[in-house]
Amino acid sequence: MRLLRIGVDYYPEHWNKKEWKTDVLLMKDSGVNVVRMAEFAWSRLEPEEGTYDFQWLDEAISLFERHGIDVVLGIPTMTPPQWLSQHYPDSLPDLPDQHLSHPGVRGHRCYNSPSMRILTAAITKQMAQRYGSRKSVIGWQTDNEFSLHMCRCSNCLSGFRNWLKEKYGDLKTLNQEWGTVVWSGGFSDWEQIALYPTNERYFNPSLLLDYRRFQSQSVTSYQQIQIDEIRSHSRDQWITHNTWSAPLPLDLHELYDELDFASFDYYPATDPDKAKSNPYSGALLLDRTRGFKQQNFWVMEQFGGMPGSWMPVWRSPYPGFLRAFAWQSVSRGADGVVFFRWRSAAAGAEQYWHGLIDHSNVPGRRFKEFQQFAREANRLSDQIFGSEMQHKVAILYDFDSHTALQLQPQTEGYDYYEYIKLIHRSLLKSGVGVDILHRLDNLPEEYRLLILPSLFVADEESASHIEAFVRKGGTVVALPRSGVKQMNNQCWMKPLPGPLSSIFGVSVKEYDPIGSHVHRIASLDGHSYECSYWCDLLEADTAETVASYDCDFYKGTPAVTRNKLGQGEAFYVGTFPEESYLKALFTRLCNNLDIEVYPDLPEGIHMTRRIKDGTEYVFVLNLSREEQAVSLKQRMKPLLVDDDITKKSIDSLTLSPYGVAVLEL
Amino acid sequence: MRLLRIGVDYYPEHWNKKEWKTDVLLMKDSGVNVVRMAEFAWSRLEPEEGTYDFQWLDEAISLFERHGIDVVLGIPTMTPPQWLSQHYPDSLPDLPDQHLSHPGVRGHRCYNSPSMRILTAAITKQMAQRYGSRKSVIGWQTDNEFSLHMCRCSNCLSGFRNWLKEKYGDLKTLNQEWGTVVWSGGFSDWEQIALYPTNERYFNPSLLLDYRRFQSQSVTSYQQIQIDEIRSHSRDQWITHNTWSAPLPLDLHELYDELDFASFDYYPATDPDKAKSNPYSGALLLDRTRGFKQQNFWVMEQFGGMPGSWMPVWRSPYPGFLRAFAWQSVSRGADGVVFFRWRSAAAGAEQYWHGLIDHSNVPGRRFKEFQQFAREANRLSDQIFGSEMQHKVAILYDFDSHTALQLQPQTEGYDYYEYIKLIHRSLLKSGVGVDILHRLDNLPEEYRLLILPSLFVADEESASHIEAFVRKGGTVVALPRSGVKQMNNQCWMKPLPGPLSSIFGVSVKEYDPIGSHVHRIASLDGHSYECSYWCDLLEADTAETVASYDCDFYKGTPAVTRNKLGQGEAFYVGTFPEESYLKALFTRLCNNLDIEVYPDLPEGIHMTRRIKDGTEYVFVLNLSREEQAVSLKQRMKPLLVDDDITKKSIDSLTLSPYGVAVLEL
Amino acid sequence: MRLLRIGVDYYPEHWNKKEWKTDVLLMKDSGVNVVRMAEFAWSRLEPEEGTYDFQWLDEAISLFERHGIDVVLGIPTMTPPQWLSQHYPDSLPDLPDQHLSHPGVRGHRCYNSPSMRILTAAITKQMAQRYGSRKSVIGWQTDNEFSLHMCRCSNCLSGFRNWLKEKYGDLKTLNQEWGTVVWSGGFSDWEQIALYPTNERYFNPSLLLDYRRFQSQSVTSYQQIQIDEIRSHSRDQWITHNTWSAPLPLDLHELYDELDFASFDYYPATDPDKAKSNPYSGALLLDRTRGFKQQNFWVMEQFGGMPGSWMPVWRSPYPGFLRAFAWQSVSRGADGVVFFRWRSAAAGAEQYWHGLIDHSNVPGRRFKEFQQFAREANRLSDQIFGSEMQHKVAILYDFDSHTALQLQPQTEGYDYYEYIKLIHRSLLKSGVGVDILHRLDNLPEEYRLLILPSLFVADEESASHIEAFVRKGGTVVALPRSGVKQMNNQCWMKPLPGPLSSIFGVSVKEYDPIGSHVHRIASLDGHSYECSYWCDLLEADTAETVASYDCDFYKGTPAVTRNKLGQGEAFYVGTFPEESYLKALFTRLCNNLDIEVYPDLPEGIHMTRRIKDGTEYVFVLNLSREEQAVSLKQRMKPLLVDDDITKKSIDSLTLSPYGVAVLEL
């Protein structure tokens, strides 16, 4: 069935069978065509070690089948049962965030625990054997919301030592790569390599970066157990994993390598104080998800009600909010939108993470919006399904750089990811579509503009990819703290931006980490802009100055430079300018590069395109609390405007708060 | 001796015997008729295990006896000696607040430790045998300032498991009651039930509530050891316990069940920044203490000097402050007022918790105020002693609801107890006397108005008590987050306010947890008020609307409703309004219910009545730094006005800052 | 060689030998005449236990020798190698600040560990034997930046118990001195004395003060191992230690007793927000360092680049900053200025603690300023070297009082050391030179004015020294919280200021700990000033009132008094006045005492004198970002003004931002 998938996350194990029947009828009636189940149900599927009980799940799947609803099954390994934690204490991680080191929550499992790996293979095998050829089971979700664990258990420690032996061969090489001579930190025995539950900033940053790489790969290799078991027993079923916006970076590019497509759990903030930034940061998360495999994706948990539980309950969503943000997922490449969750849990720690239906079991306003979205999406499914996004602008998100910058914050207030948000937002506000890349090798031909936000860790190979891109006519923009570190997290002993200097034709004479102080830069045309966090004082070599500092003792010193190289141009932005500077810069570059811009998009209007066989489906969403008017430049055929279906072609439209338009071009 | 008791807390073990003599003479001269002793003196009474030394205490008691001063003895179990902690390590609790897990402080004892229980029985028996028939020893204090301990030691853990076996019988029932199916958390072995030193918000809330109930009952059962020993050996002596304003709720209703009366340790804040709220929150603490047994009480530690030690030293009290707050205790039902402490400690961690006399040993301004109070109280003792308070308004403080709301905060900024303060204050500012209830069964006939602040945990039985109260003509007012939880801390699967809905004739369609945002409601007469934290969007069934929301997308939706039921009325207030709204509402209700109000009481004026044989003793206190004039409505006979004794009857009076009036009606 | 020493901290072990050669040539060319080395190089000097490798250090020393650069060697015991921590786990401390309890950082060593002491003696002996008579090795640095460790390991615990046995003899005496009777805390077995990793404020303050004294002495006795080894093998080499501005006080007076002179690591804040207070607090640190032995000192780590690493990188220094602060060190008594560090580390946790040269290895602006300073200092070396400072004003910094006040903060916002800064600054702003004393015995004759900031811990002996000073004609000024505690940290049972009362002819009737509230005092001439933290309400005995409170219920009560005693005067300041009050008071006192003042010095101008054979070398530094004009009162001969060398004598001068003048009188 080639269609947009509209679904819900459902927990049959929480409700009695009478409720199942009422629920499935209401789902069917509402337009649901898929449910995700079982991802937290290990204790019900394997109540004792080796004793399995699939009857209830069989019944549930059959019930959905009878009503024409397909199923996605989650491997329930995020919630090891009490018996598992009790009998295999090595399955519990040893984490700084202690609540995950104990059973009864979720996530209480060490990825490197041998017992955990064996029992994971066993439950996955049982599920895959049983449902691998079941037609209504269309796909699988590995585990749930993997996150990087800074586990210090003995299995992780010995795993890390082995990983290092593999990587470095001998201690002499390791000592050299890590620069352990400093502070007499050299290792003379592998057993000396250890991890301590304490302030990491005093420890060797090369060790710390490698440890995070190791732990990220531990997640990937743990997931591979599940993938292998599923693939051995399944036919025509896809496998995905649902990530979330975690505080610690995980190398998600690696994580998705062996999966069919990416999925994301999307909870846009309902707080009106966040109403301005929220749809843009949400757009970035969706774009990032699409970027993991450069293809369409699913939202496996779409906002269905107010989160709450370990934090206070969120604000109630504004009318239209729930539907509009579901459309936002589709508008940025989602082919499946599965709402979390059908009904709020009456028990357990997650009681206040609200579902589409409240504890009262009386469907209310949010449920009606969900039904509206489902109806609309089903109606447009034939047209939209199969369409894809095509962009000429890309931002590089680099796992190593993000991680290394988290390990060693450079200046007060600066956050690698937060500034990517600002870059991304400055492009979206001009209607420019952006892809998020994770690697510099194999840069697709289509890209014309590549943005490098603090490519902190970079080597000669990174430099050669970037240089090739520019020489062939691309434009690259780099931000400060690029080219600072070698892959081993030692500093480059060259003028900054280190191995990238020749591309940008510039070198950093000195720098001023201004932190929370606000400075100013002036562009050549006399405009003045604020900048923050960091000021590189530049010395142009082959480059020319585009903007200079406008304050402090280095007033007049170059702040932004442009270097022509081959067919292309390389901009070095030596500070972190405010959004309006980036918007002006990127608009100018897009104009030069024949990339369409909408420089006057009102605040909160998100415009995207999905393309199929030459037809463009244009999504115009008003993700704000105010009515907004949008000029389209071209006439388009409305497929959906607000909640009307209109027929005549239009070249402008007015959207009510949280209004949605889908147009055909 | 039937009289008001005026006393001091005295530590003979800290001073040499020459000082005892000077001290007792000054006490006698100042009007002291009782001292509390020995509650921290375990190491002096039992220097080695089983070796007792009562000689010094005998001498001290005899000395007081000779000067006609009676004695209250404290059981010194809050301060286990070093030898006890050393020889019986299981006596030390395993607490998140680590300083209590070590000897040398106070409170370092686990209520469930078998050793601690045996040694507690032993020292109590020794004391009770020796002083149980001593005439000048008029009563006993169990331990000192019990607090709920979140102890995770092995004795607490096995105690908890046994408590659960008793309560639920088998694991199947327990799993069902706790809803452990969520996140595969089901228990298959009692040994799996455990407690972790970590962020509780991720753990099962049903388990957590039961654990607090268990620990609260552990305190009560530990205290019972002391009560049993004292009762076996004493004649005509009462037993009490002195509670304080602890952060973690303890089920004090249970704690006082077997005691003769309640006591409280009262330290009103001296900081002028708190001078406005402080006398009202103090009044609530005193009313709560009276409410534990619905009878008069003692203040066992009355403010005698600036607290300090683990926190910076408090501000010096304003002239009149010390005396006025001692009168406040009497004015709200205290029959004994014992000041903490005679003289500041020269050694130990509590050096800066000042006594009536400073380290200098030169009696100063505070001491003179103490003497004045003692003189006045002794003079009025015949009239006041035996009088009691009689109120028609009650607020329900519910241990389960308070605890469950602490476990799962619902919205930013809302605090169950803080909002009770606001309710209570809004009544006091109209001169309305209030009782604080702890149970809904056996509601006394006298009450006309009952206020339910977030009766979060409620069952059908709670509903039936409330309904009966209303049907018989009572008025009830409920606040949001009532009827949310079953007794097992699972959510009710009914429209809110759950089992209470039919009483209020209303249901909650949806809610908006506004947290720190401020919203507005409009009453029918057009007045507008601020409200905070939470907005229930109401759908009136049999109820009528009294006020509506005045902002956001639900403007116009009912916010406050009134439902007539039998002879009475039930108000549902769907949000947390500011004080002025409550004051207006309660004033109107009191007027309807023939409850006298003084709507124009100046800020800081506290008016209460104690009644004996038809005579009313009216207390008018000016607990502010400004002179205030008060109209009395009726002519009364002044027994004390400021520091004068006047004879002629008056119908109004002017009180100087911290002035005190006692009148007869 | 009798000359000012200009140097750098250099780490040959971090760089290859080719770099050594380039580095030494550039050093020589820049005016460097000394380098400090080896203080973190234990693992290179002793790669395995008992196997030593001095070849690389020999080579490095020889290389410097060949270029006429002398060497200071650091004993590398702050950085025990991995093998040491692995084989001797008792060498690791058990600290609340956990990162120091693990190898791989620096400072991970317990001063009381027997293994650590043995291995310390061994490496020190090896180094001293090898280099003790090497001519170019002019001196030694013990360890690096000692700090007080609140270690709770078993060696520290048994060490503490032995220290107590030595001090008190028996437990009865200890119990009495510590007042353990409070809360039944008496010890009946030495084994009961313990230390807990928890909130200390609830524990016995007498124990806690003794524990800090013990740990401070542990540092001193640990250092003595190094001193003894060096002295046994060295000829004509001095020994010093480099301290820093640590949060926990260490008894540095004791620490320096056996050393030849004091050293300090000086990092003035570059943040412009701190530009006003920073040069004054830096001046205090330098004055304090001079005070440890009342003689000239070295700066062993002078600011050479922006600190950073475990905190964000500091702001870049303003032009002139680096040079001016190097001159500040000389201007307050430094005879050696060694910059930290030659070049930034490319590896390890300290990567962003910048050196004179950045990672780029391209000397920049900071390096040029360093060269300028070196050139200037070398030129003036003959004149300045051998000169000393001579002051008539002293502030007493008391280790016991500082420690005891940290253990028991008295009032919100007050910090003992911060208020010393304010006192010191109020004097510097009038051009008054100040010494910082650490003991009251042997008060030098020269002092005329002695200031006692909260002499919290004081006994009759302290009183007698102060009284003698006053009777002989000195003026003393005491601040509140003086004379509160006996040496055993129990309160004096006398009217405050306890044993000092008769000197000041005053007693404290009561006090008001106003914390962050601001109060006012009025001086006799009608001026009004703010005061903070604490108000002693004074009762003058033989004293007369100098200022009174101007608010609250004690308006009009004496706040500052003067008592004539013998030939001198004793001022009791009962509150903590703002800087302008102190400036006015001290200016008046200096005028009376014939101490020269410059009451109109502009903000940021620092004026000091070094005297040799009757010639005065006057330093005038503009440590601000603004140009400033200074009147000199007398004609002086300029040796250096800004960066010019002028010849004619002047009586005023104008200094550019961060300008430096050295004058001869």
Predicted pLDDT of residue C19? 97
B297-337 pLDDT, tens digit each: 999 999 999 999 999 999 999 999 999 999 999 999 999 99
Asked if C181's CB is within 8 angstroms of B14's CB, the reply is yes
Q: Any binding-site annotation on A242?
A: no
CATH of the domain at A660: 2.60.40.1180
pLDDT surpasses 70 at B474: yes
Please tell me if residue B348 touches chain C, with a CB cutoff of 8 Å. yes
ipTM of the complex: 0.95
CA distance B465 to A649: 65
Cα A131 from chain centroid (whole Å): 30
Whether residue B404 is found in the same domain as residue B469: yes
Q: Tell me, what DSSP letter sits at residue C386?
A: T
Query: Can you tell me which residue has the tokens 């003995």?
Result: A154
Residue C217: in which H helix or E strand, if any? helix C205-233
Kindly name the residue from C39, C229, C254, C301 that is annotated as catalytic. Answer: C301
pLDDT tens for residues C253-298? 999 999 999 999 999 999 999 887 899 999 999 999 999 999 999 9
Note every long-range contact of A228-231, with CB atoms under 8 Å and residues 24 or more positions apart, other chains counting.
A229/A121, A229/A124, A229/A125, A229/A128, A230/A75, A230/A124, A230/A128, A230/A132, A230/A140, A230/A142
Regarding whether C501 and C567 lie in a shared domain, the answer is yes
**Pairwise CB contact (< 8 Å): B43 & C184:** yes
Residue C609: enclosing H or E segment and its boundaries? strand C605-612
C291-334 confidence digits (pLDDT tens): 999 999 999 999 999 999 999 999 999 999 999 999 999 999 99
Place of tokens 């975690």: A246
Is residue C201 in a domain? no
Q: Is the pLDDT of residue B480 over 80?
A: yes
Nearest-by-Cβ selection for A181 from C14, C101, C312? C14
- Residue C157 within a domain: no
Residue of B nearest to C185 (CA): B104
Q: Which of C145, C177, C200, C254 is catalytic?
A: C145
Is B622 part of a structural domain of the chain?
A: no
In a domain, C161, yes or no: no
| Residue range C432-469, pLDDT digits in tens | 999 999 999 989 889 999 999 999 999 999 999 999 99
Place of tokens 């009082």: C401
Same domain, A545 and A449: yes
Strands B575-577 and B528-540: antiparallel
Return the half-sphere exposure (C-beta side, CA atoms, 13 A cut-off) of residue C123: 31
Distances (CA, A) of B350 to A657, B358, B368, C183, C206: 61, 13, 23, 9, 12
Contacts of A197 in chain C (CB under 8 A): 98
Q: How far is A638 from chain B (nearest CA, A)?
A: 28
The predicted pLDDT at position B200 comes to 86
Stretch B160-166: mean pLDDT, rounded? 98
Are B355 and B504 found together in one domain? no
Q: How large a percentage of chain B has pLDDT more than 90?
A: 92
Q: Which domain holds residue A635?
A: 605-664
C23 sits in which H/E element? helix C17-30
Residue B553 has its nearest CB partner, among A41, A318, A345, at: A318
Instruction: In whole angstroms, give the CA distance from residue B12 to residue B39.
Output: 11
User: What sections of A408-479 are H helices per DSSP?
Assistant: 416-428, 460-471
Mean pLDDT for the stretch of residues C475-481: 98
* Cα–Cα separations (whole angstroms), residue C443 to C287, C435, C436, C482: 17, 12, 12, 19
Other CB atoms closer than 10 Å to residue A213's CB: what's the count? 18
| CATH number (domain holding residue A71) | 3.20.20.80
pLDDT above 70 for C645: no
Q: What percent of the residues of chain C are helix, what percent strand, and what percent coil, each to the nearest 5?
A: 35, 25, 40
- State how far the Cα of A70 lies from the Cα of A62, in Å rounded to an integer: 10
In this prediction, residue C182 has a pLDDT band, given cuts at 50, 70 and 90, of: very high
Q: Is B145 a catalytic residue?
A: yes
**Measuring CA to CA, which residue among A215, A237, A213 is closest to residue A226?**
A237
Comparing CB atoms, the residue among A189, A491, A509 nearest residue C364 is: A509
- Find the residue in B nearest to A312 (Cα): B411
Q: For residue C497, is the peptide bond before it cis, meaning its omega torsion is within 30 degrees of 0?
A: yes
Least confident stretch, A281-290, B96-105, C335-344:
B96-105
Distances in Å between the Cα of B565 and the Cα atoms of B395, B504, B505, B548, C69 are 20, 8, 9, 22, 99
**Inter-helix orientation angle B399-407/B416-428, to 10°:** 130
- At B647, the pLDDT band (50, 70, 90 cuts) reads confident
Cβ distance C101 to A493 less than 8 Å, yes or no, reads: no
pLDDT digits (tens, 9 = 90+) for B589-633: 999 999 999 988 999 999 999 999 999 999 999 999 999 999 998
Task: Note which residues in 43-82 of chain C have CB less than 8 A from chain A.
Answer: 43-44, 47-48, 76, 79-82
Q: Please name the member of B183, B191, B512 whose beta carbon is closest to the beta carbon of A79.
A: B183
Q: Would you state the pLDDT for residue B450?
A: 98
Beta-ladder partners of C321: none
Query: What residues of B are in contact with residue C184 (Cβ under 8 Å)?
Result: 40-44, 76, 79-82, 106
Whose CA is closest to A4, among A237, A243, A355, A296?
A: A296
Q: Report how far apart, in Å, the C-alpha atoms of A69 and of each of A3, A299, A327, C280 are.
A: 13, 18, 21, 76
Residues A522 and A655 in one domain: no
Number of separate domains in chain B: 2
Report the sign of the C-alpha dihedral through residues C378, C384, C387, C391, in that order: negative
B145, B229, B376, B569: the active-site residue: B145
C474, C616: one domain: no
Name residue A623's beta-bridge partners. none
DSSP for B468-504 reads: HHHHTT-EEEE-SS-S-B-TTSPBPSSSTTGGGHHHH
The pair of three-digit structure tokens given for residue C332, joined into one six-digit string:
């307050």
Q: Are residues C502 and C556 in the same domain?
A: yes
* Residues C444, C564 share a domain: yes
CB B168 within 8 A of CB B177: yes
pLDDT at B481: 98
Kindly give, in sequence order, each residue whose CB lies less than 8 Å from that of residue B374, ignoring residues fewer than 6 positions away. Answer: B6, B30, B31, B32
pLDDT of residue B646: 67
In angstroms and rounded to an integer, the radius of gyration of the C-alpha atoms of chain B is: 26
Q: Tell me which residue has tokens 């601690």.
A: B116
pLDDT lower than 70: segments of chain A:
1, 643, 645-646
Q: Is C349 on the interface with B (CB under 8 A)?
A: no
Residues C309 and C405 in one domain: no
User: How many angstroms separate the Cα of A575 from the Cα of each of A453, A532, A535?
Assistant: 11, 7, 5
SS (H, E, C) C75-101: CCCCCCCHHHHHHCHHHCCCCCCHHHH
Q: According to the model, what pLDDT value does residue B147 have?
A: 93
d(CA B69, CA B32): 7
Whether A145 sits among the annotated catalytic residues: the reply is yes
pTM given for the model:
0.96
Give the pair of three-digit tokens for residue A99: 């609540």
With 0-12 / 13-18 / 19 or more C-beta atoms within 10 angstroms meaning exposed / middle / buried, residue C388 is: middle
Domain end among C384, C409, C433: C384
Boundary of a domain, candidates B384, B416, B440: B384
Concatenate the DSSP letters of all residues of A83-117 into one string: HHHHH-GGGS---SSGGGGSTTSS----TT-HHHH
Q: Please check whether residues B413 and B279 belong to one and the same domain.
A: no
**C514 contact B CB<8A:** yes
User: Does residue A458 sit in the same domain as residue A584?
Assistant: yes
Q: What digits encode the pLDDT tens for the residues B190-205? A: 999 998 877 789 999 9
Question: Nearest CA to A38 among A84, A73, A77, A81?
Answer: A73
A530 close to A517: Cβ distance less than 8 angstroms: no
- What confidence tens digit (pLDDT) does each residue in C581-637 have? 999 999 999 999 999 999 889 999 999 999 999 999 999 999 999 999 999 989 999
| A649/A626 same-domain check | yes
276-315 of C, contacting A, C-beta below 8 A: 306, 308-310, 312-315
Identify the pLDDT of residue B454: 97
Beta strands in C524-557 (DSSP E): 528-540, 544-549
What residue type is B227 in one-letter code? I
C648 pLDDT tier (thresholds 50, 70, 90): confident
User: What region, left, alpha or beta, does residue A90 occupy, with left being phi > 0 and alpha being psi -120 to 50 degrees?
Assistant: alpha
Q: Is B201 on the interface with A (CB under 8 A)?
A: yes
Examine residue C598 and state whether it is found in any structural domain, yes or no: no
Mean pLDDT of C546-574: 98
Q: C134-147: per-residue pLDDT in tens?
A: 999 999 999 999 99
Which tens digit of pLDDT belongs to each residue from A245-255? Answer: 877 789 999 99
Residues of A numbered 520-579 whose beta carbons fall under 8 angstroms of chain C's beta carbons: which are they?
553
Selection from A505, A456, A452, A448 nearest residue A472 by Cα: A448
**Judged by CB atoms within 8 Å, which residues 357-376 of C form the interface with A?**
358-362, 364-366
B185 domain-assigned? no
**Boundary (domain end) residue, out of B345, B366, B384:** B384
If DSSP codes are grouped into helix, strand and coil, which group holds residue C118? Answer: helix
CATH number (domain holding residue B537): 3.40.50.880
**Per DSSP, what are the bridge partners of residue B512?**
B535
pLDDT at C525: 86
- Test the C interface: residue of A183, A188, A192, A549 with most C CBs within 10 Å: A183
Structure confidence at residue A645 (pLDDT):
67
- From C348, which residue of chain A is nearest by alpha-carbon distance? A204
User: Inter-chain contact A201–C310, Cβ cutoff 8 Å?
Assistant: yes
Residue A175 belongs to a domain: no
pLDDT at C646: 67
Q: How far apart are CA C103 and CA C108, in angstroms?
A: 6
